[in-house]
Amino acid sequence: MRLKHSLLVLAALAPAQALATNGYFSHGYGTINQGMAGAGTALAQDSIAAATNPAGMAFVGDRADVGAELFSPHREYGVEGGGPPSLQAFYLMPGTRESENEAFLIPHLGYNRQVTETQTLGLSVFANGGMNTEYDGSNGGTFGGDKAGVNLEQGFIAPTWTWRFAEQQAIGISPVIAYQRFSASGLQNFGPMSSDAEALSDNGTDDAWGYGFQIGWQGQLTENLRGGLSWRKVLKMDEFDDYRGLFAEQGDFDIPQMFHAGLAWSGIEDHWLLLDVQHIRYSEIDSVGNPFDATTRLGDDDGSGFGWGDMTVAKLGWQWQQDERQTWRAGVSYGEQPIPESEVLFNILAPGVQEWHITGGFTRALDGGLSVSGMAFYSPEETVRGENPLGPGQEIELSMYQLGAAVSLGWQF
C-alpha cells in the first residue's frame, strides 16, 4: 500500500489537462527535448530522456531535473447549415463555440545514477497533454445536454536500466507504469446509441492504472554521427468502468504503441543537427481508432470511436554551444493530423488537428553543476471540415492553435 501511495503521488504530479500536440501525445518530453521540437532519440541530455529513448540515460551521467510547461491551446468549432430536430437527424446548433480553459501547467521530473562503469539506473516522470474540452451550455449546449466536454489526463512513471555494452553503444529498458483519469459531460443525448446509457456521461472522474515497457538503443555510428531507436509497446490499461457506455470494448482505453528513430550529426564545430521520426499507432486502440458508425452501439466491442488514424511525425532540431555556459536550440516538426473529414462530430470533444510545431530553447550553465533551461513553442492554427454524419447537409469545422513555454532546473552531480 505504501508503494502504491508513493506512485500515486508521483503520477499526480504528471498528468496534464489540455489537448496535446501530436494527436494527444506531447510534441516532446522535457524542456531540452521540447526546445528542438521533440528531436533527441539519438542525443540524450537530461534525465527525462527515457520518455523518448531509454538507452539515452546511459549518456547523461549522475543527474536530476525538474521543470514545468505552461501550455495554452485555443480550440473552437463552427457549425453551418442543418435543420430542425427530428427522429431522423441529429443537428447541432449553427454558430461558433470556443472551448474554455486555455492555460495548463504540465510538470516533469527525472533522476539518473551511474551505478557501475557500464550500467545506470534512473527514473523519469512525465505526461501526455491529454484531452480537455469544455463548451458552454448556451442555447442548449453543444449536443443539447448543457455544458459538454471531456477531460483525459495521462501520467507515466518510467524506471530505467541501461547497459553500455561498448564505449559509445548502449541499450536501455523502462518498465512503464501509466495512470490516467477521465470524465465526460453533456453527452446524454447519445444515450439511444449506447450499450449502457447510465455509463455514458456525467459520471464524474474515473481513473485507471496500466503498464507496459519501452526499449531502446543509442550509439555512435561514425565520428560525427549518432543514431537511436526506441519502441514502446501498447500500455494495457484498466477499463473506465464509469464510461463503459462511451468507449469501445466496455470502457477500454489503452495507450497506443510508439516508435522513434533518430540521427544526430555534429560535423559543424559546436553544433548539432538532429532528425527524428516518430510513429504513433492510434488506429490500433478501438476506442480511439474505430470510426463513428451510427449502426453500432457506443461501448460495444466494435463501438464507435474517434476515428483517428496513425500519425507519423518528422522532427528537425538544431543546437549551438555558444560557449561553455550558453547553449541555444531551435526546432520544427510536422505530422499530418489524425482526424479524417468524416469524423468531425465526435472530435468536437477532441480536436487534435495540430500539424506544425516551431520551437526554440536555451540552457544556461550555473555554478555547482546546476543549469537552467527554457523553451517556447508555437503551433499554427489547423482546421478540419466535414459533414455531420448524423445531420445531412450540416458542416462542422474544428480548429486549434497552441502556444507554450517551459522552464527546468538541472543538476549534474
Instruction: Read off the amino acid at residue 312.
Output: T
3-state secondary structure labels for all residues of the chain:
CHHHHHHHHHHHHCCCCCCCCECCECCCCCHHHHCCCCCCCCCCCCCCHHHCCHHHHHHCCCEEEEEEEEEEEEEEEEEECCCCCCCCCCCCCCEEEECCCCCEEEEEEEEEEECCCCEEEEEEEEEEEEEEEEECCHHHCCCCCCCEEEEEEEEEEEEEEEEEEECCEEEEEEEEEEEEEEEEECCHHHHHHECCHHHCCCCCCEEEEEEEEEEEEEEEEECCEEEEEEEECCEEECCCHHHCCCCHHHHCCCECCEEEEEEEECCCCCEEEEEEEEEECHHHCHHHHCCCCCCCCECCCCCCCCCCCCEEEEEEEEEEECCCCEEEEEEEEEECCCCCHHHCCHHHCCCCCCCEEEEEEEEEECCCCEEEEEEEEEEEEEEEEEECCCCCCCEEEEEEEEEEEEEEEEEEC
* Pairwise CA distance, residues 209 & 241, whole Å: 12
Residue 104 has a pLDDT of: 87
Q: What domains lie within the chain, and their CATH numbers?
A: 31-412 (2.40.160.60)
pTM of the entire structure? 0.93
| pLDDT, one tens digit for every residue, the chain (413 residues) | 444 444 444 444 444 444 458 999 999 999 999 999 999 999 999 999 999 999 999 999 999 999 999 999 999 999 999 887 777 789 999 999 999 988 888 999 999 999 999 999 999 999 986 578 999 999 889 999 899 999 999 999 999 999 999 999 999 999 999 999 999 999 999 999 999 999 999 999 999 999 999 999 999 999 999 999 999 999 999 999 999 999 999 999 999 999 999 999 999 999 999 999 999 999 999 999 999 998 999 999 999 999 999 999 999 999 999 999 999 999 999 999 999 999 999 999 999 999 999 999 999 999 999 999 999 999 999 999 999 999 999 999 999 999 999 999 999 99
C-alpha cell at 176: 512503464
C-alpha cell at position 171: 541499450
- How far is the C-alpha of 181 from the C-alpha of 198, rounded, in Å? 18
State residue 128's pLDDT score.
Answer: 82
Contacts of 387 (CB under 8 A, 6+ apart): 341, 342, 344, 393, 394, 395, 396
In the numeric block, the cell 466535414 is attached to 386
Q: How many CB atoms lie within 10 A of CB 269?
A: 6
Are the beta carbons of 231 and 217 closer than 8 angstroms? no
Structural contact between residues 358 and 338, judged by C-beta atoms closer than 8 angstroms: no
